[in-house]
Structure 1
Amino acid sequence: MDWIKEIYCWNYLLSVSLTAWLIAQVLKTIINFILMGKFRVERMWGSGGMPSAHSATVCALVIAAGRSQGTHSEVFALAAVMAVIVMYDAMGVRRETGEQAKILNQLLSDWLDEEAKRTPILGDKKLKEMVGHTPFEVFGGAAVGIATGLLIPMM
């Protein structure tokens, strides 16, 4: 147990943030398995899905910064601004990228069915569709991050 204490003493903010990321990724993998009925190890490091590991990471950072540095500190302010940007980006730009990828993949699939006979080198080229998050997934990640930040005591 002392090694756990040493990890969190080394860099509290980083350790709490990475712990929240790991918890979110494990939850994402489990939830994906329950919903899809198939274990996909890629979910452990992949983006998109429930809960948002990006949101969990930055929300844990905000809570840890507030607890260790105070809510009036520059570190807390930077963490809070970064959290807002990351979560907004996950729901906006990255989510829209995934929606566009779905449409492009469908268009490519239709086109490749026709062209596959003449250009076999194209094969199964597909864009990654799961890159962003719904507001619910971001909220789920934020909840994981806030809980992690509150539950891991300062050493």
Structure 2
Amino acid sequence: MNGSLFVLAAALLSNFIAQGLKPVFLYIRTGKFDIHETIACGGFPSSHTSTVVALMMAVGFSEGFSSSLFAVTAVFAFIVIYDAVNVRYYAGKNIQLTKQLIEDLEANTQLRFHDPIYDEKIKDVLGHRFVEALGGIFLGILVSTVFYFFVFML
């Protein structure tokens, strides 16, 4: 397997494993199994984080950890992780707050909102808590390292 195909395969494999683990960890945490978690945003581990970390590590293995390309993928990974943990997480919190305000207004003022936009189902968890991103970091490192070992060392 050449280096560029290895990099792509490691990133995609890490993403698929992270998405596949989400229903498992949901079941462990809550006792509820939901196969739809495999395509959901949010949850443990962060697939965004695992994908970019696996990409970064695979580039490091393939091109060298002192290469410019590794530096670019490291910066890219930090931006994606920051976005997943901060920007997207607080966007989800904002959605929760807005939904609660609408419910409170309707309950306390007998006001009814008739515009169809108020009936839209909006997912209120978009981002990740830090522990979910940390799980993605560890998974991305593990997947790319093990994959590298099996592809190039055996």
> Over aligned residues, Cα RMSD in angstroms?
2.3
Matched, 1:96 2:90: yes
- Name stretches of at least 5 consecutive residues in structure 1 with no aligned partner: 1-5
The answer to whether the Cα contact below 8 Å between 1:56 and 1:141 also exists between their aligned partners in 2 is yes
1: CA distance, partners of 2:141 / 2:84: 17
The alpha-carbon distance between structure 1 residues 112 and 124, as it changes in their structure 2 partners (threshold 3 A), is farther
The answer to whether the Cα contact below 8 Å between 1:21 and 1:53 also exists between their aligned partners in 2 is yes
Map of 1:64 onto structure 2: 58
Map of 2:120 onto structure 1: 125
Offset, 1:124: 3.7
Question: 1:21-79 CA deviation, whole Å, 9 max, x = no partner?
Answer: 11111111111123233222221121111111111001101110010111122221111
Matched, 1:139 2:100: no
* Alignment TM-score, normalising by the size of structure 2: 0.84
Q: Matched residue of 1:92: which SS?
A: helix
The answer to whether the Cα contact below 8 Å between 1:105 and 1:127 also exists between their aligned partners in 2 is no
- Name stretches of at least 5 consecutive residues in structure 2 with no aligned partner: none
1: CA distance, partners of 2:104 / 2:57: 48
Q: Matched residue of 1:50: which SS?
A: coil
The sequence identity of aligned pairs, in percent, is: 34
Offset, 1:125: 2.5
* Alignment TM-score, normalising by the size of structure 1: 0.83
Offset, 1:83: 0.4
Stretches (4+) displaced over 6 A: none
Map of 1:77 onto structure 2: 71
The alpha-carbon distance between structure 1 residues 112 and 42, as it changes in their structure 2 partners (threshold 3 A), is farther
The answer to whether the Cα contact below 8 Å between 2:3 and 2:62 also exists between their aligned partners in 1 is no
Offset, 1:105: 1.4
Map of 1:38 onto structure 2: 32
